[in-house]
Amino acid sequence: MYKVWAIIRREFVERVRTKWFWVSAILGPVLFAGIIVFQIMQSVGGGVRKIAIVDAGKLGYGTRIVEALGASRTIRADGVQLGPAVLDSLTSLVEAKQLNGFLIVDDSLPADGKAEYRASNLSLQTTEELQRTLNRVVEKARLEGKTVDGKALSERVKERLSKMG
């Protein structure tokens, strides 16, 4: 066993003496740190993102999303009704960098909870904020669909309380 350790030690010392060992030992972590910093800078993104909300339905979920994004400091949203060639013109605006992306919603949003976002460059910050906004709008729409008349609710509560006691 002593001979094995002697061989390992000798090989290690021989490797450490080369200049390429030290170059890779210094440049490796520097390159990894540079990649991490670059990714962070890309995810933070710069400034306000301009997007369009395309409402493909008749129930006005696109308007609700635009209103919900009105308080956002990082996204400026404008509502657009779906019509002929609207998606093509929005795609050309995204390609020309005049628009960061567009979100397509329809009347099945509360049931599915799904929307389609098209952009030339996806930012983690933008997608997270859009996801949070969509979740709030979907939750509100689902609750509105499940409302119960206050009078009927109080009668049900009284009925159950009388059965219990």
For residue 48, the model assigns a pLDDT of 79
Q: What is the mean pLDDT of the chain?
A: 82
Q: pLDDT value at position 32?
A: 93
pTM: 0.60
Locate 49 and state its tokens. Answer: 């993102």
DSSP one-letter code for 108:
T
In this structure, the strands spanning 75-81 and 101-105 are unpaired
State the helix-helix crossing angle for 19-44 and 124-145, rounded to 10 degrees: 40
